[in-house]
Amino acid sequence: MSEARVTRDGLAGVHPGREARFGNGLDDGRRPRERRMVPGAEFTSYYGRPVLKVPSWAARDIAGYMFLGGLAGAGSALAAAAQLTGRPATARALKLSSLGAISLSTAALVNDLGRPARFLNMLRVAKPTSPMSVGSWLLAGYGPAAGLAAASAATGLLPRVGTAATLAAAGLGPAVATYTGVLLADTAVPSWHEAHRELPHPFAASAATAAAGMALLAGPRRENGPARGVAALAAGAEALALRSLLTSAGHAAEPYRTGRPGRLLTTAKRLAFLGTAGATLLAGRNRAAAAVSGATLLAASAATRFAVFHAGIASARDPKYTVLPQRLRLRAEGGAPPATA
Amino acid sequence: MTTEETTGQQPPRVGFFTDTSVCIGCKACEVACKEWNLVPEDGLTLTGMSYDNTAALGASTWRHVAFVEQTKPLGGQQAHQPHADLDVLALAARGSATPVDEAAITPTTPGPPTADGRTELRWLMASDVCKHCTEAACLDVCPTGALFRTEFGSVVVQQDVCNGCGYCVPACPFGVIEQREGDGRAFKCTLCYDRLGAGQEPACAKSCPTESIQFGPLDELRERAERRVAQLREGGVPDARLYGADPDDGVGGGGAFFLLLDEPEVYGLPPDPRVTTRDLPTMWRHAALAALTLLGGIAAAHRVFGRKR
Ligand code: SF4
Ligand code: SF4
């Protein structure tokens, strides 16, 4: 047994031993060989078990949180633009939907905590190294602004405060929509982290898709010109951003193409295509077509977020996506790993 | 009372050097950890993974002994020696008076050279633990400040602060920290914070019968580890290497590091772990760019498509 003690002058009573020799004396004359190398693209694992811990986040809560946060944030920006360009009905509808979405998304976040009663501990510190801390403070600023903007729009009271809140929400909203990309990327989960530069971009585009969809769904037809434009822009940007995400994720892009996330992403692309087609071709003429296109775009945005969420979970479950990129990186940086590092 | 309070100095950074080459897989560390820290039972299943029924580190497993069976030689070890011509009963009757050269099985007797094509088997055992990273991702991302760095340089969760957001769980590049089911909060090795404060070494190191788990000031452990690795290589174990000992690695070096006899992934460890916080400035820049693009896109759409009818 170890008798070591921690004393003021350091460690005392340490055994001199620990020098068991199983190389010496057992050596059959073969002197130290070259280190064995792992060949090709093979990888080793411990009984196929994941290296990482899979987050216990529920898809409905966390992917839902990201979708709703995007809808709210981009919606606030769209609402301000609508208000400033004389589209009051759309502005009002978007302010209400943003308040609803951010309330729901906060509820989802709290619901996902292991200790929901301790939610306010999120505001105990402000840590720029923690995207979740940054996000909590963003929400703490954005939520009340969105609330005031919506309350003023709904009641007609305090128009000046309402306008100020609308602008504040429009300024913070895009950050609320994109920080969730950083939230996911700042983890060891391969399909999220390997594309850490790209992830915020599809999130921004997907948020704009959702907000445009909401404007088409809830705003009057005569005001929906810009929303149709945003829908087309956002859907195009999202397709491009997703493509660059898949390119840069390397091996960790595979989960985006297979299984449930693969199916979700395909669905998202199809819905976005249909929604955009409807928005650009029909929504200017027909109110019902505008509403259907809007709902389709909302569904497309949600599907994208769920696809990204599930791809990350799948990549964390399989040791291949953790070990292989790291092995390749080591090999690229100078052959075998340094023997003493 | 901490060492700091009694001496008025910052105590040296302490940690573990786990020398897996002398681990015998007794799991005394697992048991001692559970006992001392009152860690609850977390399943009594049979995994079929050699002698490892613990499976992995987690919320309720803070030391985990891995068992790897390989058809690889261990430093020239001779397996399958022919013993047909030995009268073991006669040898046994002579007891400890048996000369080493005549003994049927002694680990110190060099056997004849192995014939080509003969399978050799080795059994690797390694006690894994939280690495107490110099740049700890779990600590960086914790939004409540529940995770903190102690005066001993270890990384510890304050259970009365953690709100179970679960962010530290996917952040750890080693898959160490986890939320406990039914409790919701995150748990992991504390490097026996309470014992350190009382001048005691951690329970696992205390219980380890072979001193595979060595506790002490990090600098000293690193020197000792260098010597040990050189000794093993000299003795014909070319695959011996240190893992997590280099302060220039992706997590700034571990407060707990290891001597391994094969690639890290064989033991379930990531070969090149990196703290993702290092990329955080880049990520924030891209998020800001994306947010501005979003605003710009909306503004542009209103200019182009927003003509009044
Ligand atoms: S090994 Fe994981 S849990 Fe331990 S300090 Fe490092 S990041 Fe945190
Ligand atoms: S689960 Fe607890 S320890 Fe982990 S990041 Fe959240 S608050 Fe911090």
Give the best residue of B116, B135, B148, B165 to mutate against chain A (max A CB count within 10 A): B165
Residue B293 sits in the same domain as residue B262: no
Q: How does pLDDT run across A129-154, given as a tens digit for each residue?
A: 999 999 999 999 999 999 999 999 99
* DSSP-assigned letter for residue B133: B
Name every protein residue with a CB atom under 6 angstroms from any ligand 1 atom: B 130-133, 136-138, 155, 172, 174, 176-177, 188
Whether residue A45 is predicted with pLDDT greater than 60 in this model: the reply is yes
What are the structure tokens assigned to B175, written together?
């898959």
* DSSP-assigned letter for residue B248: T
Give the best residue of A51, A83, A308 to mutate against chain B (max B CB count within 10 A): A51
Q: How does pLDDT run across B146-194, given as a tens digit for each residue?
A: 999 999 999 999 999 999 999 999 999 999 999 999 999 999 999 999 9
- What's the mean per-residue pLDDT of chain A? 90
Chain B nearest CA to A151, separation (Å): 23
The 10 Å Cβ neighbour count of residue A65 is: 26
Q: How confident is the model at residue B237 (pLDDT cuts 50, 70, 90)?
A: confident
Q: How does pLDDT run across B30-61, given as a tens digit for each residue?
A: 999 999 999 999 889 899 999 999 999 999 99
* B43 part of a folded domain: yes
Nearest CA in chain B to A330: B272
| DSSP codes, B170-190 | HH-TT---EEPTTT-SEE---
Residue B65 sits in the same domain as residue B157: yes
Residue B289 sits in the same domain as residue B216: no
User: What is the tally of structural domains in chain B?
Assistant: 2
CB contact, 8 Å: A122 with chain B? yes
Ligand 1 centroid distance, CA of B252 (Å): 12
- The stretch B79-84 carries a mean pLDDT of 59
Chain A nearest CA to B21, separation (Å): 8
Q: How does pLDDT run across B238-288, given as a tens digit for each residue?
A: 889 999 999 999 999 999 999 999 999 999 999 999 999 999 999 999 999
pTM of the model: 0.87
Q: How confident is the model at residue A339 (pLDDT cuts 50, 70, 90)?
A: very low
CB contact, 8 Å: A174 with chain B? yes
Query: What confidence score (pLDDT) does residue B122 get?
Result: 81
Strand order in the sheet with B213-217: B213-217, B14-19, B256-260, B241-243
Q: Ligand 2 atom 6: the closest Cα is on which residue? A: B165
Query: What confidence score (pLDDT) does residue B87 get?
Result: 76
Query: What confidence score (pLDDT) does residue B86 get?
Result: 72
Chain B nearest CA to A21, separation (Å): 7
CB contact, 8 Å: B99 with chain A? no
Query: What confidence score (pLDDT) does residue B89 get?
Result: 79
Instruction: Please classify residue A115 by burial: count the beta carbons closer than 10 Å to its beta carbon, then call 0-12 exposed, 13-18 middle and 19+ buried.
Output: middle
Q: How confident is the model at residue A42 (pLDDT cuts 50, 70, 90)?
A: confident
* B81 part of a folded domain: no
* B99 part of a folded domain: no
* DSSP-assigned letter for residue B254: B
Whether residue A338 is predicted with pLDDT greater than 50 in this model: the reply is no
Q: Is B166 in the pocket of ligand 2 (CB under 6 A)?
A: yes
CATH number of the domain within which B199 lies = 3.30.70.20
Query: What confidence score (pLDDT) does residue A335 get?
Result: 55
Whether residue A26 is predicted with pLDDT greater than 60 in this model: the reply is no
Whether residue A340 is predicted with pLDDT greater than 70 in this model: the reply is no
Chain A nearest CA to B61, separation (Å): 13
Ligand 2 centroid distance, CA of B166 (Å): 5
3-state secondary structure of A11: strand
Give the best residue of B18, B157, B298 to mutate against chain A (max A CB count within 10 A): B298
* B95 part of a folded domain: no
- The stretch B79-106 carries a mean pLDDT of 63
User: How far is residue A213's CA from residue B160's CA, in Å, rounded to a whole number?
Assistant: 43
CB contact, 8 Å: B56 with chain A? yes
Most ligand 2 atoms within 8 A of CB, residue of B130, B165, B178 to mutate: B165
CB contact, 8 Å: B104 with chain A? no
Query: What confidence score (pLDDT) does residue B88 get?
Result: 73
CB contact, 8 Å: B159 with chain A? no
Do B165 and A122 lie within an 8 Å CB cutoff? yes
- For strand B213-217 and strand B14-19, is the pairing parallel, antiparallel, or unpaired? antiparallel
Q: How confident is the model at residue B235 (pLDDT cuts 50, 70, 90)?
A: confident
Q: How confident is the model at residue A29 (pLDDT cuts 50, 70, 90)?
A: very low
Do B282 and A196 lie within an 8 Å CB cutoff? yes
* DSSP-assigned letter for residue B288: H
Nearest CA in chain A to B234: A32
* B93 part of a folded domain: no
B-chain CB neighbours of A283 within 8 Å are none
User: How far is residue B287's CA from residue A295's CA, in Å, rounded to a whole number?
Assistant: 26
Residue B53 sits in the same domain as residue B167: yes
Contact pairs from chain A to chain B, CB under 8 Å: 388
The 10 Å Cβ neighbour count of residue A222 is: 13
- The stretch A281-310 carries a mean pLDDT of 97
Chain B nearest CA to A250, separation (Å): 16
Q: Is B164 in the pocket of ligand 2 (CB under 6 A)?
A: yes
Q: How confident is the model at residue B111 (pLDDT cuts 50, 70, 90)?
A: very low
Whether residue B309 is predicted with pLDDT greater than 50 in this model: the reply is no
Q: Ligand 1 atom 4: the closest Cα is on which residue? A: B130
Do B238 and A33 lie within an 8 Å CB cutoff? yes
User: How far is residue A207's CA from residue A14's CA, in Å, rounded to a whole number?
Assistant: 60
CB contact, 8 Å: B266 with chain A? yes
Q: Is B180 in the pocket of ligand 2 (CB under 6 A)?
A: no
A-chain CB neighbours of B56 within 8 Å are 49
| DSSP codes, B53-102 | -S-S-BTTBSEEEEEEEESS-STTPPPS---TT--HHHHHHTGGGS-GGG
Pick the residue with more confidence: B6 or B28? B28
Ligand 2 centroid distance, CA of B146 (Å): 6
Domain that holds residue B206: 14-71+121-274
Q: Ligand 2 atom 5: the closest Cα is on which residue? A: B142
- Candidate from A168-177, B83-92, B165-174 with smallest mean pLDDT: B83-92
3-state secondary structure of A47: coil
Whether residue B107 is predicted with pLDDT greater than 70 in this model: the reply is no
Residue boundaries of the structural domains of chain A: 54-321
Long-range contact pairs involving B156-159 (C-beta distance under 8 Å, separation at least 24): B156/B190, B156/B191, B156/B193, B157/B185, B157/B186, B157/B187, B157/B188, B157/B190, B159/B185, B159/B187
Residue B134 sits in the same domain as residue B203: yes
Query: What confidence score (pLDDT) does residue B1 get?
Result: 43
* B97 part of a folded domain: no
* B8 part of a folded domain: no
* B182 part of a folded domain: yes
- As a whole-number percent, the residues of chain B with pLDDT over 90 amount to 73
Residue B151 sits in the same domain as residue B218: yes
Whether residue A79 is predicted with pLDDT greater than 90 in this model: the reply is yes
Write out the CATH class of domain A54-321.
Answer: mainly alpha
Q: How confident is the model at residue B9 (pLDDT cuts 50, 70, 90)?
A: confident
- The stretch B224-244 carries a mean pLDDT of 92
3-state secondary structure of B299: helix
Q: Is B167 in the pocket of ligand 2 (CB under 6 A)?
A: yes
Residue B243 sits in the same domain as residue B302: no
Residue B169 sits in the same domain as residue B304: no
A-chain CB neighbours of B171 within 8 Å are 186-188
Query: What confidence score (pLDDT) does residue A143 get?
Result: 98
* DSSP-assigned letter for residue B51: T
Nearest CA in chain A to B289: A201
Annotated binding site of B for [4Fe-4S] cluster: 23, 26, 29, 33, 130, 133, 138, 142, 162, 165, 168, 172, 189, 192, 204, 208
- As a whole-number percent, the residues of chain B with pLDDT over 70 amount to 84
Residue B159 sits in the same domain as residue B292: no
